[in-house]
Chains A and B, each alone.
Chain A
Amino acid sequence: MAVLDHRAELNRAGANATGFFGTARFLMRRYPLGAVGAVIVVLFVLTALFAPWLTAYDPTSTNPRASLARPTADHILGADFMGRDMWSRVAYGARISLAVGVGSTFLGCLIGVAVGLTSGYFGGWYDLLIQRLIDIMQALPLLVMALVMAASLGPSLQNTIIAIAIPLVPNVARVIRSNTLSLREMPYVEAARAVGMSELGIAVRHVLPNTLAPLIVLATAQLGAAILTEAALSFLGLGIPEPHPSWGRMLSESAAEYVRTAPWLVIFPGIAISLAVFGTNLLGDALRDYLDPRQRT
């Protein structure tokens, strides 16, 4: 059973789509907001990948003469207090943001799927224990949990990823668990058991692939949350350490006092965060409509 059979889905939806471009054109017409989101996300990823080719300055090299330079042809987005080029920092910041966003979403989903799948499939005391653990972890807001985790692990890129991934786990585990509970009762699971397949084999081979659609939907939604949380952590000084150009960190350096004197230091990193999250949210909404129409909002 192919879960993500795009071609069949599209033909049912009445798309007379042939080839890659035909399909793309149909999807764009059907989900205009999602297409905008996809474009933003692609731009975001490309900026992160090709940052060294897109910028003229090193994001960490300082230049006292350019301190607080206004946006000009030389420094298109201006320069910060230490004379570091803002465009370079924003472009390289995309790397950090993407790394933390994708890294923590991936890690969180990986653990969440393992936990949710096993607790939903095997049930019993193990399930009870996991559910209580999830309750406990959900008693704290994402940011508070991430704050405590980040502080306890110490500031580094790797630790920030872990600090954001762990609070994402309960959400993923809950969705996967409830999905697994209903899948467990499916006739094909019974059939697999009848032909003598091992329980673990059934869980991985038959149940897991069928949780893929809700997982993709969930992961895109979490990606936005992860990027925002990284920004907030770094803004509070507990995320990515200096001299890495993190968008949130750039705002904390510039914050309140530069609101008066150098607004470009406040505006551009904020636009970068908002655009990246906006793009993933738009894309996530469209993906949800497409892959999981029951949840349609």
Chain B
Amino acid sequence: MGAYLVRRFFLMLLTLFGMSVLIFVLLRVMPGNISDILFESAGLVNPAEKAKIEKELGLDQPLVVQYSTWISGLLRGDLGYAYVSEKPALDEILPRIPITAKLAVLALFFSIVLGVPLGVISAVKQDTPLDYALRVVSLSGLSLPSFWLALLILMGFVHFLGWIPIYTDKPATIWHELALLSIPAAAVGFRASALIMRLTRSSMLEVLRQDYIRTARAKGASAASVNYDHALRNAVLPVITIIGIEAAFLIGGLIVTETVFNIPGVARFLVEAIRWRDYPIVQNLVMFIAVVVVVVNFLVDMAYVVLDPRIKYED
């Protein structure tokens, strides 16, 4: 187990290193850097001035030098300066993280609270009209683009209440903030819940076919006891595995949802930074996302070992 942990850990570092190279290369082959965009929008064409900006930003250096500058800074906690705002990139990114983190946690909460029970019901009532209806609902959840769902929710607010929930930087109380965030979180969470529901259903169906379930029924355990005490506890394990996948799913959903609801979070910021070719922001943010996804997956693997005593990783 110890050796496995160490190996997993080093593989994780290797993955992140590869990611950093990939991101860096992708960003540098992008047509045009910020100086091009600035010059295009301002209509300036003085090559000397352009070269000066590129020199100031270090864009005239060889790629290898640019890359090592970035990575050595990153390891020291220095992310460089954002091109657009000219503030330290860390100061631009950090304050935006809590909002997105709150949204993500809320969305994950919604998706589990909605997904697991509906998945259980769907499995227990397999092939009944209720099961069909729930499966159609979950499939449609996977089919709705989350930004459209967000727009529909906005439309509902306008139509029925006459106002739009606008996220402000300084919500009065934590409850007020939660209320404002729970609307976009529900939009993202509904989509994610579809994934959880489908997995819970198939996992439950698998478990319900096991011998020990028949034994439990034979000894006269009530239906509720069989379904919840015997089956669900075993069926929920694979569901935990996809929390890692879910994290990736949620980030994708948050990018568009934050854009629709105008929430000043880190996900919307990424899109803005990509549009501006703001390399320091984009490469650090994408690295941050990769770290989150990789670490969550690592933790999920570890949690799995703790929760399922049958699993033993060979050293």
Contact = CB atoms under 8 A, between A and B. Distances in A.
A260 interface: yes
B136 interface: yes
A143 interface: yes
Interface stretch (B20-28, B81-89, B170-178, B224-232): B20-28
A149 B152 CA distance: 29
A142 B248 contact: yes
A141 B249 contact: yes
Interface stretch (B9-17, B70-78, B211-219): B9-17
Contacts of A278: 139-140, 143
A87 B114 CA distance: 36
Given A144-B270, A151-B274, A154-B31, A132 B14 contact: yes
A259 B282 contact: no
B252 to A, nearest CB: 4
B124 interface: no
B39 interface: no
Contacts of A285: 139
Chain B interface residue count: which class? 35 or more
Contacts of A132: 11, 14-15, 18
B149 to A, nearest CB: 8
Nearest to B21: A136
Contact of A139 (B19, B145, B198): B19
A147 B274 contact: yes
A235 interface: yes
A11 B218 CA distance: 36
A136 B18 contact: yes
Nearest to B253: A143
Interface string A123-143: 000000000110111011111
B145 A235 contact: yes
A232 interface: yes
Interface stretch (B42-50, B180-188, B288-296, B305-313): B288-296
Instruction: Give the 8 A-B residue pairs with the shortest CB-CB distance, closest first.
Output: A297-B202, A143-B252, A270-B148, A136-B18, A278-B143, A141-B248, A277-B143, A152-B30
A145 B20 CA distance: 13
Interface stretch (B53-61, B93-101, B105-113, B255-263): B255-263
Contacts of B18: 132-133, 135-136
Contacts of A263: 155, 159
Contacts of A217: none
Interface stretch (A42-50, A108-116, A191-199, A248-256): A248-256
Say whether chain A's binding surface is mostly helix, strand, loop, or mixed. helix
Interface in B269-293: 270-271, 274-275, 282, 286, 289-290, 293
Contact of B145 (A259, A270, A296): A270
B154 A259 contact: yes
Interface core residue of B15, B31, B198, B293 (most chain A CB under 10 Å): B15
B290 A281 contact: no
Nearest to A275: B143
Best-surrounded residue of A149, A232, A277, A282 (most CB of chain B within 10 A): A232
B192 to A, nearest CB: 12
A238 B139 contact: no
Nearest to B250: A141
State the majority secondary structure of interface residues on B: helix
Contacts of B270: 144, 147
A151 B278 CA distance: 12
A251 B151 contact: yes
Contacts of A135: 11, 14-15, 18
Given A141-B293, A232-B145, 16 more contacts: A132-B11, A132-B15, A135-B18, A136-B18, A144-B289, A148-B282, A232-B256, A235-B145, A235-B256, A236-B256, A238-B274, A256-B262, A270-B152, A277-B143, A277-B145, A278-B140
Contacts of B289: 140-141, 144
B38 interface: no
Interface string B119-162: 00000000000001001100110111111100110110011000
Contact of B271 (A141, A147, A152, A231): A147
Contacts of B135: 33
Nearest to B18: A136
B158 A259 contact: yes
Interface in A212-233: 224, 228, 231-232
Nearest to B294: A139
B19 A136 contact: yes
B300 interface: no
A266 interface: yes
Nearest to B283: A148
Contacts of A275: 143
A148 B278 CA distance: 12
Contacts of B198: 297
A237 interface: yes
B303 to A, nearest CB: 19
Given A139-B16, A144-B270, A255 B27 contact: no
25 contacts: A132-B14, A132-B15, A135-B14, A139-B294, A140-B289, A141-B252, A144-B270, A144-B286, A152-B27, A152-B30, A232-B145, A235-B145, A236-B256, A236-B271, A251-B147, A255-B260, A259-B151, A259-B154, A273-B145, A274-B140, A274-B143, A277-B143, A281-B139, A296-B202, A297-B202
A136 B293 CA distance: 11
A187 B310 CA distance: 32
